[in-house]
Each structure stands twice: as C-alpha cells, then as structure tokens.
Chain A
Amino acid sequence: MDQTYILLLLLAPLAGFILNVFFGKKAGHNGAGYLATFAVFISFCVTLMYFLQINKTATPVQVNLFEWFSFGKVTVNMGILLDQLSLLWLMFVTGIGTLIHLYSVSYMHDDENRHKFFAYLNLFIFFMLLLVTGDNLLVMFIGWEGVGLCSYLLIGFWYKNQDYNDAAKKAFIMNRIGDLGFLIGMFIIAYLTKTLDYAQIPDAIKFKLSLLQEPQQMKFISALSIAALALFIGACGKSAQIPLYTWLPDAMAGPTPVSALIHAATMVTAGIFMVTRMHFLFDLAPNVQNVIAIVGAVTSIVAATIGLVQNDIKKVLAYSTVSQLGLMFLALGLGAYEVAVFHVITHAFFKACLFLGSGSVIHALHGEQDMRKMGALKKWMPITYITFLISSLAISGIPPFSGFFSKDEILMTAFHENKVLYVIGSVASIMTAFYMFRLLYLTFFKDFRGTEEQKHHLHESPALITFPLIVLAILAAIGGLISFPGASWLNQYLAPVLGAKEHGEHHLGTTEYALMAVAVIGGLIGIGIAYAKYLKKGEVPPADEEMTGLHKVLYHKYYIDEAYEFLFVKPINALSTFFRDTLETALSGFVYGFGKVTNAIGDQGRLLQNGSVGRYLFFFVMGMVAIVSYLFYNKIV
C-alpha cells in the first residue's frame, strides 16, 4: 500500500512532465499549466496524508523500490524514506510548488513554450521529491543533480538570449563543482562504512569506532571529517555559499516563478537538508562545523553588503537569499539543525512570497526589473503591496512575523556559542532590513519613474497571481508559530530524526529577551535608515556610471565574477588554446616525425642506389667478405 502511495507521490510530477513534453502543446491554452499544477497537487495530497499520519504514529515509512546497482561492498537500492524531516521538506516543496505552479499559469500565459516550462517545473518537483525522500545518499544524489539540471533548463528558459544561457551554464557548472565534493564525500563514507543508507551509517560508524583503538579512532574520525567537508562543498554549490555562490544572482535570468520556487524556496535549501540529514556525521567533526559556521556567517554578511546597493529588484532578492542561506549555515555550523530547518521553512514562505510579488511587479511593468524605474506601485497594486510588506517585515525580523522567530533563534544560538558570529549575523540582519525596505520604498512608494507607456498599463495582477501571494503572505505572517520559543512544536517533531538535543531549547531568560529586543531594534534601525534615505529624502540610486568608491565595488559584487574569470576561466581557456594550437601540433608533428625520418632515410638510401653496376658489385663483394669473415670470425682471430 505504501508503495503505491509513494509511487503516486513520486510519479505524479514525472507523469506531468512526460505528458507535458509530448502533449503539452496540444492541451489548450492553459492546459499544460493546470495539468502540471494538478500533478504537483496530487503529490501534495499524498504528502499531507503521510504528514498527518506521522504526526500520529511517529514511525517513518520506508519502501524499497528496486535494487539500483552495487559497487565495492555497497549495494544501492532505490529506497524511499518518509520520516519527519523528509515529510517536512515535502510539505513545503509540494505546497509552495503547487502555489507557484498556479501562479505560473497566469504568469507564463503568453509564452509560446509554456508547456515546456511546466514540464521542466514538474520535472524539478520530481527530482526534488527524490532528493528529499531518498533513503540513501546516492538516491539523494540523483535528485541533487536532477534539480541542478532543471535549474539549468529553467534559467536558460528564454534560450534565445545567450546571456541567460551563460547564466544557466554557470549555475550548472558551479553546482557540478559542488557535486564533485558530494561524490568524494560519498566515496569516503562508502569506503569507511560500506553503506550509503542514512539509517545504517550511524550504526556502522559506531560499530567501527568500537572496534578501533584510540589512535586509529582519531584517524577514522578525521577521515569522516574529510567526508563531511567534502559533502559540505557539495552543499556550498547547491546552496550558494562562498565561494560557489555567484551563480545564484545570475540565475535570476530565469522566469520569476522559477526564481521563487527553485532559487529561493526549495532547491537552494537542499544543502541544508543534506547537512541536516547527515547531522550525525557533522556532529563528529567539530572542525568542519566551525568551517560551516564561518562560511555561513561570511556569506551572510558579504551577500548582505552586495544586496545593499543592487538596483535590479530580483538581484536584491537573490543576494538576500544568499545571505539568509548563510545564516542557515551559521546555525548548522553551530549544531542547531532544527533552528536552521525552522529558518528554511519561514524563509521559504516569505522569500517565495517576495519573489512572486516581484514577479507580479515585473509582470505589471512588462519586464522592467530596474527599481530606479519603478515607484508608487502601491496605488495600482494593493494586494501585491500588502503581501510584499508582510514578507518584508518577516524577513527583517519584526515580530510577530515568522522571520522574527527563526532569525532570532539563529542569533540566540550564535550568541551562546560564539560572540563574533553573533555580531556578524546581527549586522547582516540589520542590513537585510535596510535593503528590503529600500526595495519596498523604491518600488511601491513615491512617484512612478517609468515611462508613460508603462504607467498607462499598470494594473493589479489577476487572481491566479494574487491568490498564491495571499496564501504565502499569511504563512509568512504566522509561520513562526510552529516553533514558538519555549513551546516549539518543530523541535519535538524533529526530535526522532535529530536526536535529543544536548544544549536543549533555549531557556527563555533575561538574556534571551534582551537579545530579542536587540534584534528587533536592529531590524527597526535598518528600516529606519531606509525610510530616512529613500522615503524622506526621496533618493534614487545613481545610474551605473555615476557610482563611486565602495558603492561601485559593492555594486559590482566585489568584482568576484571578474576575479573568478581571471583566476579560473581565463587560465583554463588559455591552456585549452595552448593545447589546441601548440601541443596538439607538436604531438602530431612528433608522430609525423617518425614518417619524416623514415622518408629521409629512404631519400638518403636512394642515393646509394645510384644505378652504377660497378658500385653494386663493390658492395656485393664487400658484403660477401663481411659475411664470410663474420661466419668464421672466431676461426680467424
């Protein structure tokens, strides 16, 4: 029975994909979209069913579909595991997925390739489900690479523009760098524990450790640490952490629903999911945890600073996503997995809402993304505005919206563990508040700065677009309740997966309340600055060429892309050109050299063959003498 349901869960989006690929074009104007939405909705229903079930029974469901392949001493099954963690992820993947599909029906309604778009979206959902539900690392890897592929396809959806294709390619390759890390990590784990199943790895590690003496134990653990580090590199690629984050802002080239679904709510959190899944491994490797925490903190602050000055509405959101992901990794590095998961969920709500809101804006402005050419949209788009405001408040950490709870938990954890990281995280949060409200003010307030033509066409988006916005805004507003400080449903729910917490829940004391107050004040300060700058003074960010100093550096993202180009892409291309033009010719010449030498010998030998019979006779006689002397050599001497 479980098998049927799980197949339904997995195959519904896949069927949607296949149907859309083959028949999508014939399915009427919005047929493809509704079909895709329905497919995801089926998955959502199945998920909901299991979610309710596990809330009651608290026993995970595991199904083994078939044996995939084996290597070394490891046999890999196509196994599906529905436990608390994966069901939680499934809930918001399919839930938000359904909403975004619905949104896309309207958003993409006049694109000629929309059936492809929905096919890709469905494929993405399928791979995401596989990623989340797989019961071993390799099945997760299928999903891991699969979502990367869908991300590639969707970023480059408007394939006629080669810049978009470049962005898609960049995303795929950056992800693949991480994937190599993931592979190496898997290899190490498979080598050490002879299994890749999540359920068996901890036992195998324990068993191995019990067999080993003290010095070998250290060695074993350091090997596992390397595995953890390698996996983390994989997570860096997928979840856009330093140094592999540069693809995510570029990925905004894709249609906005894609940015909302893949590059904000679901795929980019796969790294966090994986680390949470493998928490037992990371727990064994404190050094790696430190690395994760530091990388997360640095990413959050770097991305936040870049986000301060971006003018493209989606770019701001993209850097905000990177920054928020950094905060989640900070939490992961500190061992507070459930906190990270909490933030993933709230983030999914409000960031999806923000992206969809920005999509609504862009839709209304017919593709304009530059905030310098927006403004005063509040008047025309009230629903978009309100949902956007709620989400902005949520991401800025203003109570009682969801972001407040989750972000506050992260900062609190950081405060207890490491003060420096706490300060960095807090600064990043203040910046977040600033740039989100900068975005809000520039887009929805003051006067409209676009063309008359655009102004004429301004309108609130249709219901298919506003409905998901409203649902997400509600969730963004109240989502924090699932882990209310002191009485966290989420922590209890996840306890079977993540184990009993040694540091437990934060005891709500004076320090904690003080910290909350600090966080709120910080958020308000950020909002205040934005208010003063953009609403009070009515500033508009300068045009590209007028930027100076730090502003310019930030606007150009610290020139990281250029640095990568200079450090990696250029040298490797130069090497390639060198190989192609010089080394290939040289090698080829070397081989031809054999022929040439033979030819030359032949040419010289030809001269010997001068046709003179007299000469031939000479050689003949000399040869005869030589042969005779050779035959009787030992006799003569």
Chain B
Amino acid sequence: MDVSIVLILLFAGALLSFLSGDKWASKTALLTSVVALGASWLVLCKHNAKEVVGVSYLWSQKPNIHVALSGDGLSLAMLMLTTALLPLIILSTFGRNIQNAKSFYSLIMFMGFAMAGTFLALDGFVYYIFWELALIPIYFIALLWGSGEHKDRQRAVVKFFIYTFAGSLFMLAAFAYLYTKAGSFMWTDLAKLDLSKTEQIWIFLAFFAAYAIKIPLIPFHTWQAAVYEKAPTAGTMLLSGIMLKMGLYSILRWQLPIAPLAAKSFMVIFIWFGLAGVLYGSVVALRQKNLKKLLAYSSLAHVGLIAAGAYTLNKDGLSGAVLQMISHGFAIVGLFLAADIIIDRLQTREISEMGGIRSQAPKFTSMFMIMVLASVALPTTFNFVGEFTVLYSLFFKKVWFAIIGGLTIILGAYYMLKMFQNVMLGETNKKPFRDVSWSEGLTFSIIIAVTFFFGLYPKPINDLIAPSIHQIMFLIHSGPRLL
C-alpha cells in the first residue's frame, strides 16, 4: 500500500461518479472522496510508522521519465489537505440544484486527482502533466456551471486558462533545459545539479512565472477575482482552497531546491512581491462591493504572506508557509461556503443588498463568525499558528518585513469585520433566510473542528513536515550540492 492508491481511488471516483448517473453522482463522489481520505489517512499512518510509502516506476527509458510519487511529509500533508477538502467541497454542494450532475462531480473528482498528483509527483515531467491536468476540469467547471452572463464568464475563464497556461510554459521550458543538463526529470537529480548562477536565475524566473500566476502574486493576479466570482462556489473552493496551494507547494518543492542561489540573491525582491500582495489585497478588499470578490482579494493577501514566508528561506518561513497553506485552505473553503449560502439564499452577490441575516440565522452567523475570526488569525485558530510563524520568519530577515506583513492583522480585521457587519448585521433582512442545512452545518463543523484542533495542537503537522523542511533547507543552504 503506497500513495498511488489514493490517486487511483480519486481517479476511480471520477469515473464512478460519471457512470453513476445524475441522481447518484453526488453521493458517489462523496463516498469515493471519503474513501480516498481514509486511504490517505492509512498511508499517513504507514508513513508515521516509518514505512516507505513513496513509489517509483520507470515509465520511459528515453526520454528518462519515472512515475515517481513522493511519500515524504510535505507531500503527504498536502495530500491530506486535498483529500480532506474534497469531501467538504462536495458536501457543500448538497442541496444545490446542479445541472448535469454526473459531469460536475466527475470533474471535481478528476480535479482532486490531478491536484493530488501534483503534490505527489517527484518527476518533473509527471509533475508537469498533473499540473496542467488540473487546469482542464476547473476550466469546464467554471465555464459550464458558473454564473453571470455567458460572455463575461467565458472571457474571465478563458483569460484564466490562457494566463496560467502561458505561465506554465515557462516552467516547461525550464524543465526541458534541466533535462538536457541532468538527463533525468527526477527531483532528486535536479536538486543535485550544480548550475551556474545565471542558469539558476533563469530557471528561477521561469518557475516564478508559472507559480506567480497560479498563486497568484501581484501583479499577476488579474484573473483571480473575476474567476472566483464567476465560477460556481465549489469551483472557487477548489481554486482557492487547493489549487493555489499547488503554486506555493511548488515553490518549496521545486523552485527553491533547484535554484537556491537565485533565491538567495533575490530574496528581498521576492519577499517584497509577497508583501506587496498582502498590502494590495487587503486594501483592495476594503472597498469591494462583491462578496466573492472580497474573499478573493483576502485570499490574495493571505497567499502573499505565505509566499513571502516561503521566500525568507529559513525554517520558520518554510514550515510556517506550509501551516498557513493548510489553515488557509480550510478557512477559505469555509468562507466561500458561507458566501455561497448567502448568495444562494438572497440571490445576490452585492454586499450592499445583504445585511440583517444574523437575527434570521443564528447558527449560520456563529459559524460564519468563526470562519471570519479564523481568517483574521485569532490565536487558538490554526491560521494564527501559521501566520505567527511566517511573521516571525519575516521578522528574522528584517523588522520592517514583519511590520508590513503584520499590517495584515489590522487590515484583515478591518475588511473582514466590515464585510461581516454589512452582510450579517443590522436590521432584519426583508427576504427570508433559511438557517444552515445539515450538510452545510456538517461542513462548517468539520472545518471549525480542524481549525481549532490544529490551532491548539499543531504538533502533528509540524512533526510531519519537519523532515521535509529540513531536507529542503539543506538543499537550499548546503554549499556543495549533495543529497
């Protein structure tokens, strides 16, 4: 039993959901995703019992490609994030009227498969395939099940597709170059390469093009708000909860170990990229009129901080970035679920048309409030642990970084509370508002439980990722490039 079983299960889930027909697709998808979660949990247990769970098969001799799946803590943590969020995302769609459900759920499962593959792949070629594969389902999900005028939607989604795809091509070029150098796509070989500084800079920039667009960092974020708004909420959750973590994860896994010299010499610039995102996202979020767009910009601010943490190249920055990735994944899914519930009930996305929900839906209000608090990183929430560690790593580099990054706790509180006030509080809304259904409540409860559990006891995750972080740190900082 190794990690490949999870991938197989996810892929089988996609097939089964498609085959089971519109009526049963959602249940099949939920069931298979839960089974996949269970499988990844088992794999994780095996890993913790010091068994090797990674695999490597030779795919092709020439070119030299392996189907290599990593079984280290970092990948498993991201795998767990993916497989844990998938059932939640599927659960959140229950009770919604979805056309052509079998394709919808099948695409969601397929997306999960591709994203899990991205997190697991250790061979650059396979990694790239998964990376691009993840783009296809979300393209259709956003295009076919999205909202708004078809033309606007198409414009936004096609832009997103081409934009991210164009960025990825740079990465492909980088991999091609690396292959000519190393004669292999394996991560272990690529990280061992002794590249000159100029080469590293170009490779770093090529990777950066792909990741900065995917994450997104400003000023490469222009696809984000529009797609988040147009896509169906399940798609937005997939995008914000997992897919953008692909970029962040890849920074840790691929970009930094392969081009450490470049990372070191331009560290400050890239930290500024992240911090600029923090400020920019927060400031823009302040006056957003559209609820989903506001959350999109808040996400922009948070991932900016994560990226800044990753680029500090110290242990806290890297592990804080991972913690923050996971916590942000849960929190943002919760927030988008809340947004979806409101939009579903009130049939509007404009914040100005909302308000006065609290007196109608007390349970929903409490859950939404907790998600907001998690998003502003209140201590005892998981997000706090991540944000604190990242900010400390920034502080370690320069006090100003921490202060500017720390502005997120002020601005974040400002825009989130402002949003909460305008959306939830005030005189009772004239439209009736149904409180959370059992599936929504369950989704919220799970997210809240995870948020508080790891907020108080992040040790399991820390222990899980510590060896990987250590390895990456070693690759970045050790002088002679040896593994």
Residues of A with Cβ closer than 8 Å to B?
21, 66-72, 78, 138, 141-142, 144-146, 149, 152, 156, 159-160, 162, 165-166, 168-169, 172-173, 176-177, 179-180, 183-184, 187-188, 190-191, 572-573, 575-577, 579-580, 584, 587-588, 590-592, 595
- Measured CB to CB, the nearest residue on chain A to B408 is A180
In the complex, per-residue mask of B387-399: 1 if CB is within 8 Å of any chain A CB, else 0: 0110111011001
In the complex the two chains form, is B359's CB within 8 Å of A146's CB?
no
Interchain CB contact under 8 A, B395 and A184: yes
A576 vs B418: C-alpha distance in the bound complex, in angstroms?
14
Closest to B454 in A: A69
Q: Output the least CB separation between B313 and chain A (Å).
A: 14
Is B414 a contact partner of A591 (Cβ separation < 8 A)?
no
Do the beta carbons of B283 and A176 come within 8 Å of each other? no
**B428–A184 CB distance below 8 A:** no
Residue contact B288 to A580, C-beta cutoff 8 Å: yes
Give the distance in Å from the alpha carbon of A162 to the alpha carbon of B315 in the complex: 44
Which of B159, B373, B392, B428 is in CB contact (< 8 Å) with A72? Answer: B392
Residues of A within 8 A of B102 (CB): none
Q: Which of B320, B392, B459 has the most CB of A within 10 A?
A: B392
CB neighbors of A among B437-483 (8 A): 456-459, 462
Q: What mask results when residues 128 to 172 of chain B are scored 1 for a CB within 8 Å of chain A, else 0? A: 000000000000000000000000000000010011000000000
Cβ of B219 and Cβ of A179 under 8 Å apart?
no
Which residue of B has the minimal Cβ distance to A589? B222
The 6 A-B residue pairs whose C-beta atoms are closest, nearest first, are A142-B379, A576-B287, A576-B286, A187-B395, A588-B222, A159-B425
Which residues does chain B contribute within 8 Å of A579, judged by CB atoms?
Answer: 280, 283-284
CB nearest to B418 among chain A residues: A169
Are A184 and B399 within 8 A (Cβ)?
Answer: yes
Chain A's interface: helix, strand, loop or mixed, by majority?
helix
| CB-CB nearest in chain A for B389 | A71
Q: Would you call B379 and A160 a contact (CB within 8 A)? A: no
Residue of A nearest to B323 (CB): A69
Chain A residues whose C-beta falls within 8 Å of the C-beta of B225 in the assembled complex? 584
How far, in Å, is A77 (CB) from chain B's closest CB?
Answer: 11
Measured between beta carbons, the chain B residues less than 8 angstroms from A66 are: 457
Name the A residues within 8 Å of B347 (CB-CB): none
- Complex contacts, A595 vs chain B, CB 8 Å: 159, 162
Interface residues, chain B, with chain A CB atoms under 8 Å away: 159, 162-163, 218-219, 221-223, 225, 280, 283-288, 315-316, 320, 356, 358-359, 366, 373, 378-380, 385, 388-389, 391-393, 395-396, 399, 402-403, 406-407, 409-410, 413-414, 417-418, 421, 424-428, 456-459, 462
Q: Which residue of A lies closest to B359 (CB)?
A: A160
Contact B283 A173 (CB under 8 A): no
Contact A71 B358 (CB under 8 A): no
Asked whether A176 lies within 8 Å of B222 as measured between CB atoms, the reply is: no
Which chain A residues lie closer than 8 Å to B388 at the CB level? 71, 138, 183
* Interchain CB contact under 8 A, A156 and B380: no
Residues of A contacting B379 in the complex (Cβ-Cβ under 8 angstroms): 138, 141-142, 144-146
User: In the complex, which residues of chain B have a beta carbon less than 8 angstroms from the beta carbon of A173?
Assistant: 410, 413-414, 417
Instruction: List residues of chain B with CB within 8 A of the CB of A172.
Output: 413, 417
CB-CB < 8 A to B385: which residues of A? 69
Judge whether A149 and B373 touch: CB under 8 Å.
yes
In the complex the two chains form, is B284's CB within 8 Å of A576's CB?
yes
Taking the closest CB of chain A, its distance from the CB of B230, in whole angstroms, is 14
Contacts of A145 in B (CB 8 A): 378-379
From known contacts A70-B462, A145-B378, infer whether A183 and B391 are also in contact, taking CB-CB under 8 Å. Answer: yes
Give chain A residues whose Cβ lies under 8 Å from the Cβ of B378: 145-146, 149
The answer to whether A180 touches B458, judged by C-beta atoms less than 8 angstroms apart, is no
Query: Known contacts A69-B462, A71-B389, A184-B395: does B425 contact A162 (CB below 8 Å)?
Result: yes
* Inter-subunit contact A572/B426 (CB<8 Å): no
List 17 extra interface pairs beyond A183-B388, A590-B219, CB under 8 A.
A66-B457, A69-B458, A69-B462, A71-B316, A71-B320, A72-B392, A138-B379, A142-B380, A145-B379, A165-B421, A168-B417, A180-B406, A180-B407, A183-B402, A183-B406, A576-B287, A577-B287
- Minimum CB–CB distance for A206 against chain B, Å: 24
Q: Which chain B residue lies CB-closest to A574?
A: B287
Output the residue of B222, B378, B403 with the most chain A CB within 10 A. Answer: B222
**A165 contacts B426, C-beta separation under 8 Å:** yes
Q: State the CA gap A167–B457 with chains docked (Å).
A: 34
**Closest chain A residue to B380 by CB distance?**
A142
Inter-chain contact A162/B462, CB cutoff 8 Å = no
In whole angstroms, how far apart are the Cα atoms of A345 and B393 in the complex?
39
Q: Please, could you name 6 A-B residue pairs with CB atoms under 8 Å apart, sorted by A?
A: A69-B389, A69-B462, A146-B379, A149-B378, A187-B392, A580-B284
Contact: B426 with A160, CB < 8 Å? yes
CA distance A156 to B22 in the complex (A): 46
CA of A467 to CA of B456, assembled, Å = 39
CA distance A595 to B163 in the complex (A): 10
- CB-CB nearest in chain A for B222: A588
Contact of B287 with A179 in the complex, beta carbons under 8 Å: no
Cβ contact within 8 Å between A162 and B320: no
**Contacting B409 at CB < 8 Å: which of A176, A576, A580, A591?**
A176
Q: Please state if B406 and A169 are interface contacts (CB–CB under 8 Å).
A: no
| Closest A residue, CB atoms, query B377 | A145
Rounded to whole angstroms, the CA-CA distance of A144 and B389 in the bound complex is 18
B424 / chain A contacts, CB cutoff of 8 Å: 159
